[in-house]
Amino acid sequence: MYEQICCENYKSDDEYGTMYKTNPETIVGKFLWLEGLNVIQHLEKIFAATSGDMYYHKKKYNPSEVWGFLEDGPFDSPEAMRRSFVFQQKENQAGFTIIQAITKRIMGVIMLSKDDPENLSIQLDAPILAPSHWDGQEQLEACFLLMDRLFANGYRRIQFSIDAEDGRTSKLVDRLGFTFEGCILKDQIIKGASRDSNVYGMLNSDWDRGARKALMRKLYGASTAQADELYNKKEAELDEQQRILLEQKEMEDQTEDKKNA
């Protein structure tokens, strides 16, 4: 799947191979990479990409479109952003810089919060991107890559919690296949205003039963999704064979021990 989705030629394979050796925590997709947030390397460019200026965009935009529903922002300077929740993360949070795969340009950031490893649940926050990237493949893939990694690492539930008035993120959550679980009234006070929060959830069972395949079809096409399904089936068969062989070996060892006793 890595070769089909990311590495279309030997040049890109060499590039990603080198990157993995130097920066193994980077999550690589077809349209973008997710790199661990670093204030020295990423602050200036994330600020430029989300400040409303003509940074990789054809025209200026109002930065409140990006930051209006979030607890901080817009920001007057990179230093102001550095003091915000984006870079001043709590122990149960993590941030990833979104980097466009072809141009290597920094597009924005995506956050994880409310990590609860004891109960294997976590919150995924919507990618912070300029309006020109809304509804695009990059926005969808950034979420997919983190969701796929989280479920692969054993998480049982991923949630979205968004402002009930935030129609844009609500649309994204629907595209990702999350289930609406309810509305928490007067959940927070954001920038002096009361916020009702709509909560959405995705379970690992939903992911395995078809949500992952549906997202792969949206992002990479039906043929890639089918190939991925066949690959996973073969992997499951190999795991079962290994389990059976291990049990047989243990039984043989036990029989041999009894003979030698």
- 60 CB neighbour count, 10 Å cutoff: 11
pLDDT for the residue 25: 79
Residue closest to 230 by CA, chosen among 74, 4, 54: 4
pLDDT for the residue 67: 97
List the domain boundaries for the chain: 2-220
pLDDT for the residue 8: 54
pLDDT for the residue 33: 92
- The DSSP bridge partners found for residue 106 are 99
Q: What is the mean pLDDT of each run of 10 residues along the chain (261 residues)?
A: 52 63 80 94 95 77 95 96 94 95 93 96 96 90 96 97 96 96 97 97 96 93 78 74 84 78 67
Q: Is 104 left (phi over 0), alpha (psi -120 to 50) or beta?
A: left
- The DSSP bridge partners found for residue 112 are 94, 124
pLDDT for the residue 10: 46
pLDDT for the residue 229: 75
pLDDT for the residue 233: 74
pLDDT for the residue 20: 64
pLDDT for the residue 47: 96
φ/ψ of residue 38, rounded to 5:
-135, 120
Question: Is residue 181 a contact partner of residue 200, using CB atoms and an 8 Å limit?
Answer: yes
Q: What is the CATH code for 2-220?
A: 3.40.630.30
Question: Is residue 216 a contact partner of residue 226, using CB atoms and an 8 Å limit?
Answer: no
pLDDT for the residue 13: 61
The pTM for the full model equals 0.83
| Pairing state between β 157-163 and 121-124 | parallel
Question: Is residue 33 a contact partner of residue 40, using CB atoms and an 8 Å limit?
Answer: no
List pLDDT tens digits, range 28-58: 898 999 999 999 999 999 999 999 987 666 6
